[in-house]
Amino acid sequence: MASRTGTDADGDVDGADGEVVRVEATVEQVLNGVRVGLDGASGVCAYCGRELHDGDCVTVYAYRKAGHDTWNCPRVYCRDCRSGDGVSTPTLGTTEVTATAFLGVMQVAAQTTRLALTNVELESYSRPSDGSEGG
């Protein structure tokens, strides 16, 4: 028999608005310190390619797959390129956020620094249950 994928009532609580706020606060905390860009203490805007440095204000898109603790931050935009339209195409089963943050340099080893998010402020939040299901 295949693994059961039926509806599980436990994970589906309706009308829990208060929870969302709590989740968002947690997300902001978790996103602080998430590494962005490539190795080294600089990154590039995903839209215009401009270099981003320590202290720059950026808008980021980050996601986390259901059942995973790790946030991925594949897209960073400079201030000029931020679209501001939030998560335009939510993906089912994935928690997605857009957030404003400042870049900070994080030292991960004696000679190694990386850019990370600091002062994260959530702009939009898409729950795993959001997304196109049969639409």
Residues interacting with Zn ion, by CB under 5 A?
45, 47-48, 50, 78, 81
Q: What is the CA radius of gyration of the chain?
A: 17
Q: Report the residue number, 47 or 102, with the smaller CB distance to Zn ion.
A: 47
Q: Report the residue number, 34 or 78, with the smaller CB distance to Zn ion.
A: 78
Q: Report the residue number, 27 or 52, with the smaller CB distance to Zn ion.
A: 52
Show Cβ contacts of residue 65 under 8 Å, excluding neighbours closer than 6 positions: 93, 94, 95
Sign of CA dihedral 90, 104, 27, 68: positive
Q: What is the DSSP letter of 55?
A: T
Characterize the bridge pairing of strands 57-65 and 51-52.
unpaired
Question: How near is the Cβ of 77 to Zn ion at its closest, in Å?
Answer: 6
Determine the length of the chain. 135
First to last CA, the chain: 29
Show Cβ contacts of residue 67 under 8 Å, excluding neighbours closer than 6 positions: none
Instruction: Tell me the two tokens of residue 49.
Output: 């390619």
Q: Report the residue number, 55 or 93, with the smaller CB distance to Zn ion.
A: 55
Question: How near is the Cβ of 70 to Zn ion at its closest, in Å?
Answer: 26
Question: How near is the Cβ of 105 to Zn ion at its closest, in Å?
Answer: 20
Q: Report the residue number, 45 or 106, with the smaller CB distance to Zn ion.
A: 45
